[in-house]
Amino acid sequence: MSTEVPVLVMVTPVNEFSPTCVPRTFRVREDAEPCTLLGSVVGTDSDYPHGGIEYHTPGGPATFAVDRLSGEVRLLGPLDYEQQRLHRLTVLVTDHSQGRGPAQPRSGSCTMAIEVEDVNDHAPECEPPFQELTIHTSPGSGTEVTKLSCRVPQEPQRQAFSYSLVGGNSQGRFRLQGAALLHDDLLLGASLPEQPQTYELLIRVADAGPSTPHLSTTATVIVHLVPWRASTVATSTSRATVPSAMTPLLVTHTEPFWQPEPWFVVLLTVTGALLLALGWLLSRHLRGIQGTVGSSEGFIEAPRMETPEAPGSIMSLQHFDGRAQDSRTGREFLFNSRSGAWRWL
C-alpha cells in the first residue's frame, strides 16, 4: 500500500548577485539652472525580489546629485564650458532586503558621463574699441582705412565673426571687406569732397559660429576726411587709439590768464594813488609859477623923473599905502613891493 505525504519545502533567498547599472551619457547646457533634471540611473538586480536598490555617489563632485531611491541625476551648481566640458559621475547601486547572511548586501557601480554643451555667453571684444583716424582722399578705389581686430578672450577658439556698418555711413563713402574698413568714392559714384568732413562710423561685430545666441559688440571709428590736392603725394593715415579698458574721454580746453597775488594788487593800487597825487601837486605848482610870471610882466617900471625939484614934488602922500600922486600931472602910481617898480594907475 502507499500513501502521499505532503512535504513543505521553504527556500530561503540568498543574495548572490550584485546589482548593476548601465553607463549613460547626459548632455546639459552650460547655462542650465540649478535643480535641472539631467536623467536617471537605472539599476537592476537578478536576485528575488527585484527592486530595493539605492543609489549613492561616493566622493562624487558636488555639482551633481543622485536621488537615493529614484536614481534621478540633478544639477546643483553652475557649469562653464570653457573650464570643463566633460564630467564623470560614479554611481554606486546597493540592494537591500534580499537574502540573509553576513555577506549581504551587495553593490555595484557604473559611471555616468555628463557633457556640457557650449552656450555663447561672451560677446566679442575689439582692440581697440575706439579709433580716430585722419585720411587724405585720393582719386582711387579701395583705400584701406583700418582693420578691426576682434576676439573673445574667454573663448579663444571662437574665430568666426561677421562685420556690418550700422551707423554713420550716410553718404555711402565707406564699405567693409571682412574686418577691413575701406574708403571707396569712385566705386560708389560719389564725388570727392571739397571741404574736410568727419564721419563717426559704427561697426557691429557679431560671432558667426554655430553656438546660440549670437552676441555682438559695436566698435566706433571716427574718420576725418581731408580733401585731396595735387600737392598730396600719397594717401596718408594718422591713427589715434584708445586702450581696451574704456574710460570716459575728457577733453580739456585751457585758456591762459594772469592772476596776480593779493599783495601785488594792493601795492599796485597804492602806487597808482601816489602817482596821481604827485601829478596833481606838480600841476598846481606849475600853474602857480605861470601866474607869478604873468603878473610880473603886467608891471611896468615907472620912469624916473629927473627934476630939479626935491622929492617933495609928489604930493598927497597920506598914510602911505603904496599909492602916490604926481603934483604936477596929477597921475597916480602904485608901488609893487616885490619888484620894486611903480606902475601907472
Per-residue pLDDT of the chain (345 residues; tens, 9 = 90+): 999 999 999 987 777 888 889 999 999 998 899 999 999 999 888 877 777 788 988 875 678 999 998 999 999 989 988 788 999 999 999 887 665 555 567 888 999 999 998 887 778 888 888 888 888 776 556 678 888 888 888 777 777 888 888 888 887 888 888 888 888 765 444 556 677 888 899 999 887 766 667 788 889 999 888 876 644 444 445 555 444 445 556 666 666 667 778 888 888 899 999 999 999 999 888 888 876 655 555 444 444 444 434 344 444 444 456 666 666 677 776 767 666 666 666
CATH code of the domain in which 150 resides:
2.60.40.60
Any domain includes 260: no
129 and 109, same structural domain? Answer: no
* 325-to-36, 299, 309, 345 alpha-carbon distances in Å: 144, 18, 15, 10
* pLDDT value for 273: 92
Q: Which one of 88, 117, 146 terminates a domain?
A: 117
Domain presence at residue 340: no
**Residues 129, 113 within the same domain:** no
The answer to whether residue 4 sits within a structural domain is: no
Residue 66: burial class (beta carbons within 10 Å; 0-12, 13-18, 19+): buried
CB 95 within 8 A of CB 105: yes
Residue 253 is assigned to a structural domain of this protein: no
Whether residues 31 and 107 share a domain: the answer is yes
d(CA 179, CA 229): 29
Q: Give the residue numbers spanning the domain of 104.
A: 20-117
What local confidence, expressed as pLDDT, does residue 172 receive? 81
> Final residue of a domain: which of 196, 227, 258?
227
Domain boundary at 65, 94, 117, which? 117
Residues 109 and 130 in one domain: no
Structural domain contains residue 336: no
Query: Is position 299 within any domain?
Result: no
Q: What is the pLDDT of residue 188?
A: 43
Count of structural domains, the chain: 2
Q: Can you give the pLDDT at residue 305?
A: 44
Report whether 125 contacts 217 (CB < 8 A).
yes
